């Protein structure tokens, strides 16, 4: 089964990469974009086939390594 993890900065945390992307989009003529926040996407192939059983382990992975929970949020989806 795949665990799909989306990591994003918490509201209020400055996002210089998002700001750079926003300015680049404006420079390319995309004027309708009002803001950009950048994050990361991680796919994990795991042996467990039951999402309910897999969730605690994947959440622990996020808290210990994949996300900096001081400044980032994470969301987990399962596929397969």
The span from the first CA to the last CA of the chain, in angstroms, equals: 5
pLDDT attached to residue 79: 96
Phi, psi of 21 (to 5 degrees): -65, -40
* pLDDT tens by residue, 6-33: 999 999 999 999 999 999 999 999 999 9
Output b/e per residue, 14-44; b: 16+ Cβ within 10 A: ebeebeeebeeeeeeeeeeeeeeeebeebeb
Share of the chain above pLDDT 70, in %: 100
Is the pLDDT assigned to residue 80 strictly greater than 90? Answer: no
Instruction: Give this prediction's pTM.
Output: 0.89
pLDDT digits (tens, 9 = 90+) for 30-65: 999 999 999 999 999 999 999 999 999 999 999 999
- Rounded Cα distance between 12 and 33, Å, is 19
| Domain architecture of the chain: domains with CATH | 2-79 (3.30.1280.10)
């Amino acid at each position: 089964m795949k665990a799909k993890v989306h990591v994003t900065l918490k509201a209020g945390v400055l996002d210089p990469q998002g700001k750079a992307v926003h300015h680049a989009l404006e420079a390319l003529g995309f004027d309708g974009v009002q803001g950009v926040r950048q994050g990361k996407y991680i796919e994990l192939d795991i042996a467990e086939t039951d999402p309910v059983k897999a969730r605690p382990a994947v959440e622990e992975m996020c808290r210990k390594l994949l996300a900096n929970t001081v400044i980032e949020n994470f969301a987990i989806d399962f596929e397969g």
